[in-house]
């Protein structure tokens, strides 16, 4: 399923029953809204689940670590927690992590 259809499904799932009954084609409306949201720049965050994926991120990438409820930036092959001088090598980084930023 592509990002467009996935987002349309999410929109449709959160509509209340009254709205669905009053519209002639809620699925078409959901797809139109999904297209508008994607056109505005929304992108689903990528989740990293392996150390190999983590190591493959470029220096300067920023991840959010759910287990540690904090963000970290890759700097010289270690992860530096933002607002905290703690550094962690990829092998000791609790996964999964959401990729918040990747340098171009």
Task: Please write the tens of the pLDDT for every residue from 27-59.
Answer: 666 778 888 888 888 888 899 999 999 999 999
pLDDT of res. 1: 72
Backbone angles phi, psi at 38, to 5 degrees: -65, -40
Model-level pTM?
Answer: 0.66
pLDDT of res. 101: 93
Q: Span 20-31, mean pLDDT?
A: 61
Coil/strand/helix, residue 90? helix
pLDDT of res. 41: 85
Q: Span 74-86, mean pLDDT?
A: 88
Contacts 24+ apart (CB under 8 A), 46-51: 46/98, 46/99, 47/96, 47/97, 47/98, 47/99, 48/95, 48/96, 48/97, 48/98, 48/99, 49/95, 49/96, 50/95, 51/90, 51/91, 51/93, 51/95
């Amino acid at each position: 399923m592509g990002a467009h259809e996935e987002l349309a499904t999410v929109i449709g799932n959160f509509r209340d029953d009254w709205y669905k009954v009053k519209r002639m084609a809620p699925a078409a409306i959901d797809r139109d809204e999904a297209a508008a949201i994607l056109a505005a720049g929304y992108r689903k965050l990528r989740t990293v689940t392996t150390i190999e994926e983590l190591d493959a991120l470029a220096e300067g990438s920023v991840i959010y670590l759910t287990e540690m409820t904090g963000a970290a930036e890759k700097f010289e092959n270690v992860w530096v927690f933002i607002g905290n001088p703690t550094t962690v090598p990829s092998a000791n980084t609790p996964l999964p992590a959401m990729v918040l930023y990747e340098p171009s």
